[in-house]
Amino acid sequence: MPKSLTGRLMLVSTAVVFLFLPLAGLVIEKAYTASLDNRMQEQLKIQIYSLMGLADELEPGVLWLPEALPDERLNQIASGRYAQVSNKEGAVLWRSQSTLHINLPNVQKSLLEIEANEENEPGTFHFHRILDVAIEPLHMAHVTIIWEGPRDSEHYYTFQVAENLETYFSEIDTFRGTLITWLGGLGLFLLLVNLSAMFWALKPFQKLSQSIRDVESGSIDSLETNYPRELNQIANNINALIVHEREQRSRYRNTLQDLAHSLKTPLTVLTGLASEIKPDHIKDEVQEQSERMNNLVSYQLQKAVSGGTSPIKQRVAVAPEAERLFDALTKVYHDKSLQFENLVSPDAVFFGDHNDLMEIIGNLCDNACKYGHSKVTIVSTHSTSEGNIIIDVIDDGDGVPEALRKTIFDRGERLDETVEGQGIGLAVVRDIILSYKGSIDWHDSSLGHCVRITLPGEQKKPI
């Protein structure tokens, strides 16, 4: 069973067409065959009545018919139409010239059989087919009549007329071929109409599916509600879920931010008071635990702005964000006289939360400024896998030793203890990237030390 609605509807409509049309063809053919049978029987009856009109009894038991008949086919040998008359003993009294090459079956019954069987009583027409290979296929009609002669004498005569069935079978074959052609064309037409109707009827579903993908990618904020009545309720419910999800994420983020900021103030006070504690071992312990709690609060504060777990994304242009970040870093590190180079493509787009992007490239560029010597570069390229972009953050520093490239992403790990920091920036970056099912790794570049990240997004391939 197909899993798509289109496939299921097409399967059902095809089955209906292929079941209905053969049955309809069979019924039509049966009706046409019955019509031909009735027409042939009427023609044979007319021929018998014509022979009766021409017949005359010359003497008792002797019936006369002219040799040349008005129907020319009865005068021609092997014309396909035959006639003969016989008496009650079965003796042929007369036969048409067309029967000179064949002998028609003798259908005369004895008087006792006729009287015993009401169906064979005089005046009843009987029709049957003869398909004996020894003679032509024939459709025969016969009737027995009682001829009243002088002095109330009665004589039984059986009139037989037969018609060749080749023309009949030819008409049936021609009609069957025409019927198959027309029904086949009708079936194809019905399938095309059904297919067109299904695509027309299911088009709103395709539009709704595409709109949902656009909401997920951030192209639009909500679904349209100009669908058919059955789908409008679904679109409205999805829009309500989108609004609820965004409001809920906003409430969670604000709550975590408020909690983190509320805790940072007393932690700062505790850290300041720790310096006044006299016993050195207690002072060191308080400072260590205060620093640990401060790191945890900072990490959770940064984690609160992460939106990577949400299926509904925004479209964030990377180049303007990188430019604003470089403007801020220029002021922060003005004493190092760093050169910033933004090589991000103007059409590079990140599918996700704006704060997440700034958290990622902000931490990486900040580290590049700390450990670089004179230049920091950010570059974007298209990914070979569909739906991703690659962003490289490059500095001309000494780089990270091979042995530390895996552990540097752990919380609290720092490359240089003399540089200010808490050692959780790269851990936050890694967690955000992984929440988007992306990747981060060190990469060798001709421009210097490079950190390469892969994120959901798009960028046109270079021509």
In the numeric block, the tokens 């403007």 are attached to: 327
Distance of CA 134 to the CA centre of its chain: 59
Looking at per-residue pLDDT, the higher value among 282 and 428 belongs to 428
Which of the two residues, 336 and 253, has the higher pLDDT score? 336
- Residue 213's pLDDT band, with cuts at 50, 70 and 90, is confident
Residues of the chain with CATH 3.30.565.10: 313-458
Question: Whole-angstrom Cα distance, residue 327 to residue 379?
Answer: 16
Q: Give 281's pLDDT tier (boundaries 50, 70, 90).
A: low
Higher per-residue pLDDT: 106 or 349: 349
Q: What is the predicted pLDDT for the residue at 48?
A: 92
270 vs 130, 258, 292, 339, CA distance in Å? 119, 19, 12, 40
Torsion of CA 208, 212, 217, 221, to 10 degrees: 100
Look up the pTM and report it.
0.49
Whole-Å CA distances, 370 to 81, 150, 336, 374: 114, 143, 9, 10
**Mean pLDDT in the chain?**
80
Question: If pLDDT is split at 50, 70 and 90, which confidence band does 179 have?
Answer: very high
**pLDDT at res. 381:** 87
Question: What pLDDT does 426 receive?
Answer: 78
Cβ atoms of residues 215 and 312 within 8 Å: yes
Which region among 145-159, 161-175, 407-421 has the lowest average model confidence (pLDDT)?
Answer: 407-421
Q: What is the pLDDT of residues 10-63, one digit of tens each?
A: 888 888 888 888 999 999 999 999 999 999 999 999 999 999 999 998 888 788
pLDDT at 422: 41
Confidence of residue 111 (pLDDT cuts 50, 70, 90): very low
Q: Please state, for a pLDDT cut of 70, what percent of the chain lies above it.
A: 81
pLDDT of residue 418: 43
Question: Does the domain formed by 5-171 have CATH 3.10.50?
Answer: no
Residue/partner pairs of 126-135 with CB below 8 Å, 24 or more apart: 127/41, 127/44, 129/165, 130/105, 130/162, 135/102, 135/103
Contacts 24+ apart (CB under 8 A), 10-17: 10/194, 10/195, 10/198, 13/190, 13/191, 13/194, 13/198, 14/191, 14/194, 17/187, 17/190, 17/191, 17/194
Superfamily of domain 313-458: Histidine kinase-like ATPase, C-terminal domain (3.30.565.10)
Backbone angles phi, psi at 306, to 5 degrees: -75, 135
- At which residue do the structure tokens 């103030």 appear? 265
Q: Where in the chain is the domain with CATH 3.30.450?
A: 5-171
